[in-house]
Amino acid sequence: MTATGGGPAVRGTGAAAPAGTGDRSRVTARHRAGRLRTVLGLARVEASLLVRSLLVLAGLLAGGAVVWVIFGSVEPLWWNAAWRIGFGQLVLGMAVLVAAQLAAGRARRDSMADLYASFPATACTRTVAHLAGLVGAAPASLVLIGATAVVVQVRGPIGAPSITVLAGGLLLVIAAGAAGIAIGTRFPHPLAGVLGALVLFLSSATSHLGSGGGIWLLPWEWTQDQLGSLPGPLAGYPPAGAHVLELAGIAVLAGIVALTVTAGRARARGGLATAGILALVVICLAGAMQLRPIPTAELNHLVREAADPASVQRCTTASHVRYCLYPGFGRDLPSVEAPVSGVLAHLPARPDQPLTLRQVLSLYLPDSTLTHGHPERQVSQWQAQMQRAPGNAATASAIYLPVGWWPAAGGRLADAHFDVALAAAEWAARIPHQATGNPNGPVFLPCVPLDQAREAIAIWLAILATRPPAGELQDGLGGLGTGRGFQGVEVRNTMVPTWAYPGWGASYITSAGAPQTTAAGYLLASAMLRLPEQKAARVLKSAWPTWLNWHTTDAQLAAALGIRMPSVPAPPAPFRTPRPGVTFVQPGSGPQNPLCTA
Amino acid sequence: MNPPGAAGAQPESSATAGSTGEAKPAPEVLVTASANIPRTDGAPPAAGQPIPHARRPCLSWLRALPLLARPITRTMPWVTLITGCLAGTAFLAVMARVAGTSHSPLDLGTARLAFLPAIAALAFVLRAPFRPVTQVTPVPAWLAPAGHIALAAPVLAVACWAQLRIVAHTIPLRTLGHPPAIYPVIAQLTGWCAVTVAAAACADRSRYADLGGAIATPASFAAIALAWYAPVTSRFLIEPPATAHAVTIAWYSIATAGLALSCAAMRDRWHRYTRSRHRLSSPQRNPP
């Protein structure tokens, strides 16, 4: 707790020596110089204590961990990542607030008031030094910015960082420290600093306190923005410049409050009150600027990008497959193309209908943080346009990749590759995207290719194209293989065990209408993998149209390949007595998934 | 708590470390009852000797318990504890007000967040400011902090009850399905309290005893965050994926372990200093 413990005394920080025979102005000048020297000396000590504070170090580590967790595995988009770095700064700011409160309250804690009163430096001088010593919190903040920026750069970001947003994080830390000093000068008990830090955290961590444009008034909005779903930076979202101004105003106001508490002279308090009013005006002005609606032209452009992506995207055709990506996302092309090419390489014959892979926006538009301040009629128009966005319609000849979900590297990228490969293989095997209900409604049940040879072929193609680890594929059966559990859907009053493929449910592609894979299809595909690849390819090529027929069964395919049809473990029988946490649905009583047909 | 420029002026250090002229640094000094220390019958201990403890007949302190109730109650940091509890409750009341106007009910996650200020206040309850003095009295030194914890328990229980009532008040009567179970939340909050008490008790036995609460609060918050977000622990401590029964059992187990650790720390008679005696006895290093 170095920021609050003892430290070395400041050299040359004694009170200015009284003038012996000089005139009044020289005495005043020397007094001022001496006081400035005292302030600078004390500030240097306080800054040094803050730099070496264990609390600040812990806050830096915690902030880094928070940013790491928030970044996750998706590829970084700088217009989103820069704001997310601010979350780490918020955590660091909490630690700086507590450390600064402990330092500022030092003189009044543990009956030390008399001792400090005997020192030549006044309480006001010490407060000024504390405020100037907040420079000591800047290195930790800059280290956090630098370290996270390096991580983002290493993972291959899209876009460029906003210096204003990053500077806002630094100002947040300074403002939190100033607030800590203001608290510490009035309330020396350490609990006051902890409560101040909690207020800082809770104001940003809950979604109840801000809505619409008001979310930007919070110290650092955490939960409600859609920055990660944007295809590029959007002007005024967030209003970074105004937010920096607000944070600067808060820092100044907190400093003025701290000085007002410790200032002894009425004249000084009058000046501080004036400065405080000015700071309040700046904060209000910044707040008003943040509440301004996003320009209509910007939102029109965003809606057009979402509803009619073809008008802005750059398309590339390779092996008769179109890849359409938003400007700036071109570096993703090889990563998206690889699994599709892998499927095409093993395909006996291609469908007549061409395949398109297209990026889409997963924006939620009736969101008041985007549309606040615009008339209802305009918002309804935008909403109607968004309904026509391509990602909302289920079609087998297009694979939609939502912006902001594509992984940067590692196992998640392999899962995303398998997702794309399986979708391409389902297109090749002509498994339609049929479903009951609406993807955005309460009930949405995709079709199940129950006992259809083409499902096993699609899975076989996807595995061949991406070669995922066998253990991960087997894990998709859940407890079915070991008899410890069962996952399934109901089709035609029959419980069908399902298979969760790698990356299932991870939103790497929009799964509107994508068929539900079955355990039988996976087990047959894995049996096919044990055959020589040429043999399986020859059998498929010999009667390709037959295998694509939805009436052709798994057993027929197994017989043609000369293998035994793998047995699918039966679902466990219901318990005689109910068990906690286990729910059995009797066949015929639950919702029914449709069967995938022609 | 030393002001800058007065480093080394630790009253506890000078009282217990004793030695003034040794060149070799001593990493820690043991102060405990020892059979080798001769009893001096009222005479003050010689310089350089640890302070001997008073002889305590077995369980004699039980007879002194009624007499101790009043000083323990008076030295209890009521303002700190009640401030923490009220801060969380006030935050929850504001949130309930906002939730009422926006028609979005509060969840138990908000109740957990609102309990954090009470947890933070609890970390400051354990501090015994005159431990070197109470350690030489005929009653055990752990009696005062244990009494403070016992007094804090009902206050925390009332705060928890009030906060859960506020959350329940925001949930409309006609909701789909069953409301979430309360007992895992109570177990979780009990576990958080026990972890905080254990952290405070350990910090109180370290060189950071003066700021034990300020150390214990971030430490316990870090432990809570780790339990919440680390994949290894969240499988057992968070519902879902764990069941309500499993969460309850896991948190009460943690609470039991935390209380055991607290008891061990509170009964610990050692006083550790990492600064060397040479530094403690060299005020000339720090100019006035």
Residues of B whose CB is below 8 A from A194:
117, 120, 213-214, 217
pLDDT single digits (tens) B244-281: 899 999 999 999 999 999 988 888 776 555 555 555 44
Here the tokens at position A295 are 């320009």
In angstroms, the CA A340 to CA A346 distance is 10
Q: Which residues contact A241 (CB under 8 A, 6 or more apart)?
A: A164, A289
Q: Do A534 and A464 contact (CB within 8 A), yes or no?
A: no
Q: What pLDDT does A173 receive?
A: 97
In angstroms, the CA A283 to CA A413 distance is 44
- What does residue A384 show for φ and ψ, rounded to 5 degrees? -65, -40
Percent of chain A whose pLDDT exceeds 70: 89
How far CA B23 is from CA of A96, A208, B12, in Å, comes to 38, 61, 20
Distance from CA of B60 to the nearest CA of A (A): 33
Residues of A whose CB is below 8 A from B120:
191, 194-195, 198
pLDDT surpasses 70 at B135 = yes
pLDDT single digits (tens) A101-148: 999 998 888 778 889 888 888 889 999 999 999 999 999 999 999 999
Distance from CA of A151 to the nearest CA of B (A): 21
Long-range contacts of A535-543 (CB under 8 A, 24+ apart): A535/A561, A536/A460, A536/A561, A537/A346, A537/A348, A540/A348, A540/A457, A541/A348, A541/A349
pLDDT single digits (tens) A268-307: 888 899 999 999 999 999 999 999 999 999 999 999 999 9
Q: What pLDDT does B12 receive?
A: 34
Q: What's chain A's average pLDDT?
A: 86
CB distance B210–A110 less than 8 Å?
A: yes
- pLDDT confidence of A15, banded at 50, 70, 90? very low
Residues of A whose CB is below 8 A from B102:
208, 211
Q: Which residues contact B129 (CB under 8 A, 6 or more apart)?
A: none
Q: Do B225 and B219 contact (CB within 8 A), yes or no?
A: no
How far CA B22 is from CA of B37, B256, B278, B284, in Å, comes to 21, 44, 6, 16
Which chain B residue shows the shortest CA-CA distance from A206? B110
Q: Do A430 and A351 contact (CB within 8 A), yes or no?
A: yes
- pLDDT confidence of B57, banded at 50, 70, 90? low
Q: Where are the domains of chain B?
A: 67-285
CB distance B120–A9 less than 8 Å?
A: no
Q: What pLDDT does A100 receive?
A: 96
pLDDT single digits (tens) A510-567: 866 788 899 999 999 999 999 888 888 899 888 888 998 888 999 999 999 888 888 8
How far CA B123 is from CA of A194, A366, A509, A516, B199, in Å, comes to 11, 44, 48, 52, 8
Q: Do B31 and B50 contact (CB within 8 A), yes or no?
A: yes
Q: What pLDDT does A19 receive?
A: 46
- Bridge partner list, A158: A77
- pLDDT confidence of A589, banded at 50, 70, 90? low
In angstroms, the CA A181 to CA A93 distance is 13
How many C-beta atoms surround the C-beta of residue A267 within 10 A? 8
Percent of chain B whose pLDDT exceeds 90: 28
pLDDT surpasses 50 at B283 = no
Percent of chain A whose pLDDT exceeds 90: 49
In angstroms, the CA B256 to CA B195 distance is 9
Lowest mean pLDDT among A163-177, A399-413, A540-554, B90-104: B90-104
Q: Which residues contact B136 (CB under 8 A, 6 or more apart)?
A: B51, B53, B54
Q: What's chain B's average pLDDT?
A: 74
Mean pLDDT of A29-44: 85
Query: Rounded to the nearest 10 degrees, what angle do helices A163-186 and A123-132 cross at?
Result: 160
In angstroms, the CA B194 to CA A492 distance is 53
Helix locations, A77-162, DSSP H:
78-104, 113-117, 123-132, 138-154
CB distance A202–B1 less than 8 Å?
A: no
Most confident range (mean pLDDT) of A163-177, A343-357, A492-506, B163-177 is A163-177
Respond yes or no on whether ipTM tops 0.90.
no
* Closest residue to B211, CB basis, from A1, A199, A208: A1
Distance from CA of B11 to the nearest CA of A (A): 12
* Closest residue to A194, CB basis, from B120, B208, B287: B120
* A589/A288: higher pLDDT: A288
Distance from CA of A355 to the nearest CA of B (A): 39
* B19/A304: higher pLDDT: A304
pLDDT surpasses 80 at A258 = yes
pLDDT surpasses 60 at B83 = yes
Mean pLDDT of A413-418: 92
- Residues of A near B (CB-CB distance < 8 A)? 1, 4-11, 42, 45, 49, 55, 58, 62, 69, 95, 98, 102, 106-107, 109-110, 112, 115-116, 119, 189-191, 193-195, 198-199, 202, 205-206, 208-209, 211, 580-581
Q: What pLDDT does A269 receive?
A: 84
In angstroms, the CA B257 to CA B253 distance is 6
What's the pTM value of the predicted model, to 2 decimals? 0.81
Residues of A whose CB is below 8 A from B215:
1
Residues of B whose CB is below 8 A from A115:
3, 6
Q: What pLDDT does B248 receive?
A: 92
| A:B CB pairs within 8 Å | 110
- pLDDT confidence of A434, banded at 50, 70, 90? confident
